[in-house]
């Protein structure tokens, strides 16, 4: 008779699960939509054939929120975001991109201007890739940027004044800068 009662168990659990699921708050985005747009734009600006399959940039899959846990399958490396340990909604001063490290990935393209738009970005490392062109002037104006590593690329021209005279540490060597 006990086996007969077990057969009815799914009929009792289904309404209970349905009732509980109505009380679970909807997931809130941890990454600001503007941050996600900028990450997408950066990935799109890189020559796709230059992104090695083993590169962390190759793992960037925007079907999930970059700040959502676990990031092991969609953003395996390269990003440090605020709000991960204590999630907050993006609209209320929540998760933001604090650091980007895509060094040693052999990616080709230009230094992304859109990273200067991240409000809390303090560290950017694009060292030893195949980036070319000038360092965006916006990098020199960015007050939150404290560490910048662009060494080992094919950058030309003069570094923005704010990088030379400001509080930014890092390295610009192994380029063709004046």
pLDDT tens-digit map of 58-77 = 878 788 777 776 655 556 56
Mean pLDDT of the chain, nearest integer: 75
Contact assessment for residue 155 and residue 176, using Cβ atoms and an 8 Å cutoff: yes
The residue ranges of DSSP E strands in the chain, in sequence order, are 79-81, 97-101, 108-109, 123-125, 130-134, 147-149, 154-157, 169-171, 176-177
Distance (Å, whole) CA 105 – CA 128: 7
Q: Is the pTM of this model over 0.85?
A: no
- Max mean pLDDT range (54-63, 90-99, 168-177): 168-177
The residue ranges of DSSP E strands in 41-122, in sequence order, are 79-81, 97-101, 108-109
Structural domains in the chain plus CATH codes: 28-177 (3.80.10.10)
């Amino acid at each position: 008779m006990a086996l007969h009662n077990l057969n009815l168990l799914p009929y009792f659990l289904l309404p209970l699960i349905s009732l509980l699921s109505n009380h679970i708050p909807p997931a809130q985005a941890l990454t600001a939509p503007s941050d996600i747009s900028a990450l997408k734009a950066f990935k799109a600006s890189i020559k796709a054939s230059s992104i090695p399959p083993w590169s962390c940039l190759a793992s960037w899959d925007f079907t999930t929120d970059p700040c959502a846990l676990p990031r092991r399958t969609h953003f395996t490396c390269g990003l440090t975001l605020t709000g991960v340990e204590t999630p907050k909604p993006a609209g209320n001063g929540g998760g933001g991109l604090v650091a980007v490290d895509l060094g040693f990935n052999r990616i080709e393209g230009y230094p992304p201007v859109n990273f200067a738009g991240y409000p809390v970005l303090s560290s950017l490392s694009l060292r030893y890739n195949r980036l070319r062109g000038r360092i965006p002037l916006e990098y020199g104006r960015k007050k939150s940027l404290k560490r910048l590593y662009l060494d080992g690329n094919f950058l030309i021209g003069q570094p923005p004044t704010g990088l030379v005279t400001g509080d930014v540490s890092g390295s610009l060597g192994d380029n063709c800068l004046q």
